[in-house]
Amino acid sequence: MAIYGLIASVIGVVAALWIDWFPPAAVQEAKDIDTLWDVLLIVSVPIFVLVMVVVIYCVRAFKARPGDMGDGEPIHGNTMLEVVWVAVPFVIVSVLAVYGWIVLDDIEAKKPDRLQVEVRGQQFIWRYEYPNPTGGKEKVKSYDLVVPTGRQVEFNINTDDVIHDFWIPAFRLKIDAVPGITTHWRATPSEKGSYDVLCAELCGLGHSTMRGSVRVVAPEEYDAWLSKTAAKAAEEG
Amino acid sequence: MTLAAKFKGPGWYRAALSIPLGILFGLGLTVGVRALYGYDPLFDGDAITTVALISTPLAFLVGIGCFDYWFYWAAGKPTREEDHSSHGAHTWKDYFKVNTDHKVIGIQYICTTFVFFVLGGLMAMVMRAELAAPGSQIVDPNTFNGLFSVHASLMIFLFIIPVFAGIANYVLPLMIGAPDMAFPRLNALSFWMLPTAGIMMVASFFAPGGSFATGWTAYAPLSTETPLGQTFFTIGVQFAGASSIATALNFLVTIITMRAPGMTFWRMPLLVWANFTTSLLVVIATPFIAGSQFFVLFDRALGTDFFNAAAGGDVLMYQHVFWFYSHPAVYIMMLPGFGIISEVISTHARKPVFGYRMMAFSLMAIVVLGFTVWAHHMFVSGMFSWLRVPMMITTMLIAVPTGIKIFSWIATLWKGVIHMTTPMLFALGFITMFTLGGISGIVLAVIPVDIYVSDTYFVVAHIHYVLFGGSVFTIFAGIYHWFPKMTGRMYDETLGRIHFWLSFIFFNLTFGPMHLVGVDGMPRRVADYAEEFATLNALISVSSFIFGMSFFIFLYNMISSWRHGPKAAANPWRAHTIEWQVSSPPPIFNFDEIPTVVGGPYEYGVPGAQHAIFKATEEKREPVAAE
C-alpha cells in the first residue's frame, strides 16, 4: 500500500507541477506567489493520495464476501493514532500559515519612489489618474492603463457607485473598490506587454463586460505617453 | 363537511381566502400610510409589493392553519382535547395539510426541498448552456445574473439546509427514543414557512426588472439599488431563516430533554450529536443574516443609509454581518452530513465508529472555530488588513478537527466487513471528494493565493466540491440509507449504483476543470468570458448536462420504489440504533413502549452488545416487528 501511495504521490506531484496553472506573470511579486502555489501543491497531493489509497485498499481488502453476515473487529479507537492525526495536520497547517504570512509581507512591502496611480471604478469601466509630468497638481486622466517597468506602482482604488474589484491576473493581485474608502495594492511591473484588467466583483448588468487592458512599457515610453496624454488633456481643456 | 365549514377550518380552502386578504392588507396598509404622510404617488408598486411580500405569507400561514391552536389558547378559550386528528398520515392528502407528526413533517421537508433542488439544478443547466461558448447564447446578462443568484439561494436556503432538517426530523426523535419532537406545532410552522420562502425566490423572476441578480451574497450597495426582484430575496431569506431557527430550537430542546432512559450524551448516535451542534450554530448565527437583510430592506424601502457611503453608511459592515452568519452556514450545511456519514459507514462496514468521543469533540471544535473565520471571505474586500492573518490561521486550524473526522471514518472502514451498498458508495464518494474540497479550502486560506483566486472559478470549484461532493453526497447517502425506514420499501440497488457512478464521474468532470480555468484567470459570475477559456468551458458544460441527467435516475428510483418496491424489513441493514428497532415505516406514535438504552450505538462485533432494549415487552417484540 505504501509503495502504491508513494508512486501515486510522485506521479501526482509531477503532474500537478507540470500543469501550466497561471497566466503569464508580469510583475516581480508574482514569483513568490507562484512558488507558494507550487509548495501547496506538493503538500496537498500526497494528502489526497493517502486518503484515496487507504480507502481503495479498504474497499478491496475488507469487502464483504457474498452472504457474509458477520461484523468487523470491534476496534473503538487508538489513542496513539489519534494523537498523530491531530498533531501532524496541526504542524502542516502551522508551517503553511507562517510561510503564507511571510510571502504576504514580502509582496506587500512598500518600495521607495512609488508611482501613484488612482483607479476609479464605475459601472462598467475603469478610469485612471496619473501624477502630472510637469509637477502640477492637476492629475492626468485617462481610460488607458499604462505603467513603466522597474518601478513599484501603487494603485489607489475607489469607486463611483457599487463595489467593483480591480484585478490584473498577470499582476496576481486584486482588491475591491469600495464606496466610501480608498483601497490599495502595489506591484512592480517587470515584463513588457499587454495584459487583461478585469472586474472580479459582481457589479450589475454589465459585470462580465467590465474588461480592459494594461500596457507595461519601458520607463521612457511611459514618460513619453504621459506627456502626450497630459498635453492632449490640456489642449482639450 | 359543508362548504362553509371547509372555509372556516384550517386548510387550503381557507388559505385560498386568506391569501387575497393578505395582499389586500398589504395594499391597504401601504396606501393608508402613504396617504397619511402625503406621499405621491399614492399607489407605489414597489412599496405595495414589499409590504405584501410580508403580509401575504403570514396570511397564508394563518389560512393553512399553522396558528389555530395558539390563537385558541391566546384568546383564553377552554383548551381543546387533543384528538391527534392532525397527527400522522393516513392518505397522501395528509402530506398537504398542517401535520404535527415529525415523520410526516420529515417527508414534507424532504419532498419540498427536492422540488427546489430540481428547480435550482435546471437553472444551473441553463447557465451551463449559456457558458458552453464565449459570447451570448440563450439568455441576456441580467437573466444570467438572476439565474446564478436564484440557483445559489435555492440550493443553500431551500435545499441543503432544510433537507438536513427534514432527514433529522424523521430520524432523530426515533434515534433518541422520543415519541415526537418537543414542539410539534412549532415544527409544523417551521415546515410551512419553507415553501413560502422558496416560492418567493422563484417568483422573483416575474418581478419587473427581473429576479434578484446580486448573487446569494447580495452585497450592498448593489443590492440596495437594484430593481424590485431583490426584495423577494431580502424577505424570502427571513422566512427561510425563521424556519431554520425554529427547527434548531426544536432539535435542541428535543435532544436535551426527550432522550430515552439510559441515553446519556455519550451514548447518542453521532447523527444526534451532529444535529445538536448544527442547531447551536443555527440559533447563534442565523439572526445575523436576518439582521443584514433587514438593513438592506430598510435601505431599499424606508430610505435609510446603512450602506450608503455618501451619507456615512458603512459598506463593509454588510459583509462582516453577512459572513458572520454565512461562514458558520457552511458548517450548518456540512455537520448534519458528517452525522449521516458516521451512521452509514459504521452500519455498512459493520464496525464501531473509530474514536467516537473525538468525533463528537471535533464537531464541537468546528462550532467554536466556525465563528472565528468569517473574514476569510473578505481578504480582498478592503477591510482592516490586520484581521487577515489571524483569520488565515483559524481557518487553517479547522483542518485539524475536520481531519480527525476523515481519518476516523477511514479507520472505521479498516478491518470492517464492507457492504458496497448505494449509501456506502455515496459515503466513500463523499470522503474522497470532501477531502479534495477541504484541501482546496486550505489553499484558499493562504492569503497571497486567496488574493489571486478570490472571485474566480477556483472558488466555484471549491464550493461545489464541498457542497456537492460534500453535503449533497451525504444527503444521497442518507436518503438511500433511511429510504426503507421512511417508506417501508426497498429502493433498487442497481439503479442506485448507476446513479452513484454517473454522478461521481460527471461531478468530477464538471467541477474539476473549474479549478484550472479559475487559476488561469476566469472570474466567476460572468455571463461571458475570454476566448482562451472556451475549450474547458465546453467540456464543463457537456459534463454538467450528463451530471444533471443522472439525477433523474435517482428520482425514478425513488418514485417507482416507493410505489412498487419490495417491502422492507424493520431493520434491513441490521443496524443497532433505535430507529431500526421499530417497524418500517414506524407506528404513528413511534414506540408502543419507550426503549431503555443500555449501551453505545455502534457496538458491532462486540458479542452480546445491545444499544437499546424494549424492557417490559420482551415477549411482545414479535408483533411490533411484524406490524
In a domain, B84, yes or no: no
Q: Are residues A183 and A140 in the same domain?
A: yes
A162 CB neighbours in chain B (<8 A) are 219, 221-222, 225
Q: Are residues A94 and A13 in the same domain?
A: yes
Q: Which of B226, B454, B527 sits opposite A208 (nearest CB)?
A: B527
Q: Are residues B114 and B62 in the same domain?
A: no
CATH code for the domain in which residue A207 is found: 2.60.40.420
Q: Are residues A140 and A88 in the same domain?
A: no
| pLDDT on residue B622 | 46
| pLDDT on residue B8 | 86
Find the mean pLDDT for residues B297-320: 95
| pLDDT on residue B110 | 97
Percentage of residues of chain B with pLDDT beyond 70 = 98
In a domain, B219, yes or no: yes
In one letter, which amino acid is B344?
V
Secondary structure of B365-428 as H, E, C letters: HHHHHHCCCHHHHHCCCCCCHHHHHHHHHHHHHCHHHHHHHHHHHHHHHCCCCECCCHHHHHHH
| pLDDT on residue B620 | 46
Q: Tell me the per-residue pLDDT of A35-59, one tens digit each, with 9 for 90 and over.
A: 999 999 999 999 999 999 999 999 9
Using pLDDT thresholds of 50, 70 and 90, give the confidence band for residue B165.
very high
Q: Are residues A124 and A232 in the same domain?
A: yes
A71 CB neighbours in chain B (<8 A) are 350-351, 417, 604-605
In a domain, A70, yes or no: no
Output the nine-digit C-alpha cell for B199: 416560492
Beta bridge partners of A198: A167, A211
In a domain, B611, yes or no: no
d(CA B588, CA A205): 53
Per-residue CA distances from B417 to B351, B414, B604 (Å): 8, 9, 10
Q: Tell me the per-residue pLDDT of A149-175, one tens digit each, with 9 for 90 and over.
A: 999 999 999 999 999 999 999 999 999
Task: Domain count for chain A, please give it.
Answer: 2
- Cβ distance B580 to B591 under 8 Å? no
Query: Per this entry, what is the length of chain A?
Result: 237
In a domain, B623, yes or no: no
Q: Which of B314, B454, B529 sits opposite A200 (nearest CB)?
A: B454
B309 CB neighbours in chain A (<8 A) are 178-181
Q: Are residues B453 and B526 in the same domain?
A: yes
- Cβ distance A41 to A16 under 8 Å? yes
- Which phi and psi (to 5°) does residue B219 adopt? -60, 135
Q: Are residues A122 and A227 in the same domain?
A: yes
Q: Which residues span the domain enclosing B42? A: 3-74
Q: Are residues B336 and B254 in the same domain?
A: yes
In a domain, A15, yes or no: yes
Q: Which of B354, B451, B527 sits opposite A174 (nearest CB)?
A: B451
Using pLDDT thresholds of 50, 70 and 90, give the confidence band for residue B616.
low
d(CA B176, CA B261): 9
Q: Are residues B70 and B138 in the same domain?
A: no
Q: Are residues A94 and A150 in the same domain?
A: no
Give the DSSP per-residue string, B327-344: HHHHHHTTHHHHHHHHHH
Give the DSSP per-residue string, B212-226: --STTTT-TTHHHHS
Q: Which residues span the domain enclosing A36? A: 2-63+80-107
> pLDDT averaged over chain A?
94
- Cβ distance B480 to B531 under 8 Å? no
Picking from A107, A126, A142, the residue at the C-terminal end of a domain is A107
- Cβ distance B241 to B289 under 8 Å? yes
Nearest-CA distance A75 → chain B (Å): 7
Q: Tell me the per-residue pLDDT of B475-526, one tens digit each, with 9 for 90 and over.
A: 999 999 999 999 999 999 999 999 999 999 999 999 999 999 999 999 999 9
Answer yes or no: is pLDDT of B457 > 50: yes
Picking from B564, B579, B606, the residue at the C-terminal end of a domain is B564
Nearest residue to B153 via CA among B99, B93, B184, B194: B194
**Residue B223: other Cβ atoms inside 10 A:** 27
Picking from B546, B564, B582, the residue at the C-terminal end of a domain is B564
Whether A22 sits inside 8 A of B519 (CB atoms) is: yes
Among A13, A21, A62, which would you mutate to test the B interface (most chain B Cβ atoms within 10 Å of its Cβ)? A62
| pLDDT on residue B139 | 93
Helical axes B473-487 vs B161-175, angle rounded to 10°:
40
In a domain, B330, yes or no: yes
Q: Which of B449, B454, B606 sits opposite A36 (nearest CB)?
A: B449
B221 CB neighbours in chain A (<8 A) are 161-163, 179
Q: Are residues A98 and A129 in the same domain?
A: no
- Cβ distance B285 to B246 under 8 Å? no
Per-residue CA distances from B390 to A96, B399, B443, B475 (Å): 13, 15, 16, 33
Q: DSSP alpha helices (H): ranges in B204-303?
A: 222-225, 229-257, 270-301
Q: Are residues A97 and A128 in the same domain?
A: no
In a domain, B592, yes or no: no
> pLDDT averaged over chain B?
94
Answer yes or no: is pLDDT of A235 > 80: yes
Q: Are residues B155 and B43 in the same domain?
A: no
A160 CB neighbours in chain B (<8 A) are none
* Closest chain A residue to the Cα of B442, Cα to Cα: A93
Task: Domain count for chain B, please give it.
Answer: 2
Answer yes or no: is pLDDT of B619 > 50: no
d(CA A75, CA B170): 30
Answer yes or no: is pLDDT of A107 > 50: yes
First vs last Cα of chain B: how many Å apart? 32
Q: Which helix (H) or strand (E) holds A146?
A: strand A145-148
In a domain, A72, yes or no: no
Q: Are residues A120 and A150 in the same domain?
A: yes
Q: Which helix (H) or strand (E) holds B110?
A: helix B102-131
Q: Tell me the per-residue pLDDT of A64-81, one tens digit each, with 9 for 90 and over.
A: 999 898 999 999 999 999
Q: Residue with C-alpha cell 430592506? A: B297
Find the mean pLDDT for residues B345-364: 96
Output the nine-digit C-alpha cell for B539: 467540456
Q: Are residues B251 and B361 in the same domain?
A: yes
Cis ω for the linkage preceding B390 (within 30 of 0): no
| R_g of chain A, CA atoms, integer Å | 26
Whether B449 sits inside 8 A of A55 (CB atoms) is: no
- Cβ distance B422 to B483 under 8 Å? no
Beta bridge partners of A166: A175, A199
In a domain, A144, yes or no: yes
Picking from B515, B547, B564, the residue at the C-terminal end of a domain is B564
Q: Are residues A19 and A129 in the same domain?
A: no
In a domain, B380, yes or no: yes
ipTM at complex level: 0.96
DSSP code at position B567 = B
d(CA B167, CA B273): 14
- Among the residue ranges A61-65, A197-201, B5-9, the one predicted with the least confidence is B5-9
Nearest residue to B195 via CA among B143, B245, B243: B243
Beta bridge partners of A145: A214
Contacts for A44 with CB less than 8 Å, ≥ 6 apart: A16, B439, B442, B443
Q: Are residues B42 and B137 in the same domain?
A: no
Answer yes or no: is pLDDT of B624 > 60: no
| pLDDT on residue A237 | 65
Give the β-pairing of A115-122 and A125-130: antiparallel
Answer yes or no: is pLDDT of B592 > 90: no
Q: Are residues B70 and B114 in the same domain?
A: no
Q: Are residues B434 and B502 in the same domain?
A: yes
Q: Are residues A148 and A102 in the same domain?
A: no
Whether B415 sits inside 8 A of A62 (CB atoms) is: yes
Nearest residue to B380 via CA among A164, A96, A213: A164
Q: How far is CA A47 from the centre of its chain?
A: 23
CATH code for the domain in which residue B408 is found: 1.20.210.10
Q: Are residues B315 and B397 in the same domain?
A: yes
In a domain, A196, yes or no: yes
Give the β-pairing of A211-217 and A145-148: parallel
Who has greater pLDDT, B399 or B593? Answer: B399
Q: Are residues B348 and B251 in the same domain?
A: yes
- Cβ distance A191 to A25 under 8 Å? yes
Please tell me whether residue A162 adopts helix, strand or coil conformation. coil
Q: Are residues A180 and A222 in the same domain?
A: yes
Q: Are residues B245 and B373 in the same domain?
A: yes
